[in-house]
Amino acid sequence: MTGMEKERGLSMGQVEIDPAEITRVLQELVAIPSVNPAFEGGCGEAGVAEYVKRYLTEQGIPYTEQPVQPGRSNIIGMLPGTEPGPALLLEAHMDTVQTTGMIIEPFAGTVMDGRLYGRGACDTKGSLAAMLVAMATLKRSGLPLPVGVHLAAVVDEEYRYTGVSRLAAAISAGELSYCGAVVGEPTGLHRVTAHKGCVRFYIDVHGKPGHSSEPDTGVNAIEQMAGVIRYLKEEIAPAYALQKHPLTGAPTHCISEISGGAAPNTIPGSCRITVDRRTVPGEEPLEVWQGFKEKLQELERHTPGLQLTVQKPFIIDYALETSGSHPLVRQLAAAVAQFAEGRQEYGAAYGTDASKLARAGVPAVVFGPGQISLAHTEDEWVPVEELVSAASALAGLVLHYRRDGM
Ligand SMILES: [Zn+2]
């Protein structure tokens, strides 16, 4: 054992992550494009899924395949524990966002000054690499594991969460059983125990088209929509401050898209906006939407000429709230402290797969190398040192896990 290893607290019953191995694995993952098919240049995750299967096979770790959509499957690697009972789940998504506008070579995996660059390096192939290498290192160590551990590499996190939804359905059906889940996303090795959810829906305003030389002969849907937008900003949004959550902050909404009108010389007969409302723990997305609907119907009744439809949500997602005193969170904190200083419990504004697992009854925490501010960027990168620390902490977590606490 070297001096540095002693400093890092490695001792009997611990394993050592090889920085060269984890760097290589992440470079290989980055080299395989897996842009979500919903985005420009989207090719899907099949290549990464093949890689995960090959890697697990080489390491002697059995896996199952969970078909989600044609050509898109979750891969679940499994290491057994010595004690019976539910396993720990490590989960990371395989898809990335598009590479449009990137100023680096997206699939090169270049390492420079301790940073590994590429699309997905940070979000979230870095976490996937850490989980793969942690599993492989545990397997090679031959040490007995107090708890079984599964690694679920899932599809479609960046668009419709169908991968984790399939996994959650299997959990709800009793086909899989977990005592806790670590969901890999770039948290800078902090523990994210709460995050927001969302509900997204369209509001349509219906006008009456006519010749634009005589604007008073019709009902201008765009001008009516202006009133709706002002109402959302001035009458709805100010109340959000009252709902401030200690970790995630207050709810928000954003009018994220607008379209309307048919021609330059026609009074617009229709206008549509997209509302992206972020929910906080404790809010039910469908109830939030219902609240919008009722208030806007009230506005409709009191505004001459206004006719609107609040469409049913096209996306809902749940907020996450896991107790900081849950054994999983406390033991993850202790494991991380062995390898990285000053890491804390945080809330996040973005959503993750964790809330879907929590909804299925699995206490979940979000954790991984890299900063969320570097995700989806033009020069995405992850610090190699954090990769190694993440894998070390995950391996340590599994090796010493006690379902009943510390
Ligand atoms: Zn992600």
pLDDT band at 406 (very low <50, low <70, confident <90, very high): low
Structure confidence at residue 175 (pLDDT): 97
What would the mean pLDDT of 57-81 be, rounded to a whole number? 98
Please name each of the domains of the chain with its CATH number.
3-195+319-399 (3.40.630.10), 198-316 (3.30.70.360)
pLDDT band at 48 (very low <50, low <70, confident <90, very high): very high
DSSP helix/strand/coil, 347: strand
Structure confidence at residue 145 (pLDDT): 96
Residue 348 Cα to ligand 1 middle (Å): 13
With vertex at residue 336, the alpha carbon angle to CA 333 and CA 337, rounded to the nearest 5 degrees, is 85
Residue 214 CB burial class (10 angstroms; 0-12, 13-18, ≥19): exposed
Which positions ≥6 away from 61 have C-beta within 8 Å?
77, 78, 79, 135, 136, 139
Residue 222 Cα to ligand 1 middle (Å): 36
Looking up tokens 């929509």 gives 225
pLDDT band at 379 (very low <50, low <70, confident <90, very high): very high
- Token output for 338: 């062995």
Pair 279, 198: CB distance under 8 Å? yes
Pair 389, 118: CB distance under 8 Å? no
Residue 352 Cα to ligand 1 middle (Å): 7
Residue 204 Cα to ligand 1 middle (Å): 31
Residue 56 Cα to ligand 1 middle (Å): 22
pLDDT band at 405 (very low <50, low <70, confident <90, very high): confident
- Read off the pLDDT of residues 113-131 as tens digits, 9 standing for 90 and up: 999 999 999 999 999 999 9
Residue 136 Cα to ligand 1 middle (Å): 23
Structure confidence at residue 14 (pLDDT): 79
With vertex at residue 392, the alpha carbon angle to CA 388 and CA 396, rounded to the nearest 5 degrees, is 175
Residue 92 Cα to ligand 1 middle (Å): 8
- Read off the pLDDT of residues 129-138 as tens digits, 9 standing for 90 and up: 999 999 999 9
Residue 85 Cα to ligand 1 middle (Å): 29
pLDDT band at 6 (very low <50, low <70, confident <90, very high): very low
Mean of all residue pLDDT scores within the chain: 95
Residue 93 Cα to ligand 1 middle (Å): 7
pLDDT band at 83 (very low <50, low <70, confident <90, very high): confident
Residue 156 Cα to ligand 1 middle (Å): 10
A 10 A CB-CB count for 58 gives 9
